[in-house]
Amino acid sequence: MAKVKIKPIGDRVLVKHLEEKEQVRGGIIIPDSAKEKPQEAEVIALGTGKKDEAGKLSTFEVKVGDKVLISKYGGTEVKIDDVKYTLVREDDILGILA
């Protein structure tokens, strides 16, 4: 895995969307512009952690390499070296895929 040139801060997590297989319906290939944004992603980097009211850092429930399901409209997309990533808050992660 290549070193990513961004380090999330706070409770943010850097994820990379997993590519979905090409959708074909009735022999018609669905163009990229009509496809929905995939919700499955891989955790690439973790932020510094969220502080509670006492100032203590809480640990992340996800780790680098986890396959996760993220909120459909959550996060901010960033492009680094022609690769699209999304920065999401840990709260935007709905679950870890088994």
What was the pLDDT predicted at 25? 57
Domain membership of residue 2 (yes or no) is: no
**Exposed/middle/buried for 8, CB within 10 Å: 0-12, 13-18, 19+?**
buried
**Whole domain around residue 42: which residue ranges?**
12-96
For the stretch 44-86, pLDDT in tens is 999 998 888 888 888 899 999 999 999 888 899 998 888 889 9
Domain membership of residue 31 (yes or no) is: yes
What was the pLDDT predicted at 9? 92
Is residue 10 a contact partner of residue 90, using CB atoms and an 8 Å limit? no
Domain membership of residue 4 (yes or no) is: no
CATH code: domain of residue 25: 2.30.33.40
Contacts of 49 (CB under 8 A, 6+ apart): 10, 11, 57, 58, 59, 60
Total domain count, the chain: 1
